[in-house]
Amino acid sequence: MTLAPPCEACGEATAEARISAMCVLWRCPRCGHVLRDLARCRAGARAHPWGGSEALDRVRLALTRQRLRTLLPGRTGGDVLEVGFGRGLLLASLLAEGHRVSGVDPGALGLDLAPSLARGATIYPVPVEDASLPAGRFDLVYGIHVVEHLRDPAIAFGAWHRALRPGGRLYLITPNARSAGLSLFRDRWWNLEDPTHVRFFSPASIGLMLEAAGFEGIRWRAPVWDSLTMEVSSVLRTFRNPATSGDHGVLGGGPAWPAYALGVPLALIARFAWPAVRPSMEVMARRPS
């Protein structure tokens, strides 16, 4: 018999949530937080995390960059920290605009970083929980699809709170455990393809954890534009043999552009008509002044 783990957010005992014969998750009955044990809910495809389509990523990054600009105190001269920055395209664009930028990513030493970051950014090539961040320095700390991967989100949230200046902002995007997509696609939900997705926050659970870390003004919304290939990829996972998908999952498993060209516009229409199916949530909070 497998013992139910306690909820990371509220401490309540979680309960089994059997979404298919091949996948059992742990869901908190109080706050809706979801934990995943790969032994009971395998990824079924990818051997490692992968960013997906570079072209679609550029669209998403451009929209995210516009959002970040609204959270900075000025058009230039801000102190910014990105957690899990990958190749650093967002950081490089903020550096070019005149902001002082830093980044935390355990894979930084093996990444093909944007050249400007090697010269003008402070890089912490360690796990998020192990980074020695300066206290009270940053105007903005942000992480795009990071917190679902963390070893210990409570440690990370506390570190980000300390690293922010009084009044500084936190901005996160993460899969939403309350998305109707999980119920609709079940174990074929594309967010389950990544083997490093070990938790899914609900709006309530991430609010509880951020509040415990000292944040205030916590709010969230479900963006239309994030993870644009989610629904099409989930459908492809339903019909495609994972053995043919390779290390990159359905996005790397052969020509699928016709499906995305047709499916992404339809998915966007569905997201406007049925907001509950939107797969992600963006979360904003601030350190008290």
pLDDT tens digit sequence for 141-197: 999 999 999 999 999 999 999 999 999 999 999 999 999 999 999 999 999 988 999
- Closest listed residue to residue 209, CA positions, set 279, 150, 127, 130: 150
Q: In what order do the strands lie in the sheet with 15-20?
A: 15-20, 23-27, 34-35, 199-200
CA distance 192 to 37: 11
Q: What is the mean pLDDT of each run of 10 residues along the chain (289 residues)?
A: 90 96 96 96 64 64 88 91 92 95 86 82 94 98 97 98 98 98 93 93 99 99 91 83 52 65 92 97 98
Residue 20 tokens read as 């298919």
Kindly state which CATH superfamily the domain 15-286 is placed in: Vaccinia Virus protein VP39 (3.40.50.150)
**Is the separation of the CB atoms in 108 and 125 below 8 Å?**
yes
Q: What is the rounded CA–CA span in Å between residue 144 and residue 262? A: 26
At a CB cut-off of 8 Å and minimum separation 6, what does 245 contact?
Answer: 45, 46, 252, 253
Asked if residues 136 and 163 have their Cβ atoms less than 8 Å apart, the reply is yes
Query: pTM (2 decimals)?
Result: 0.91
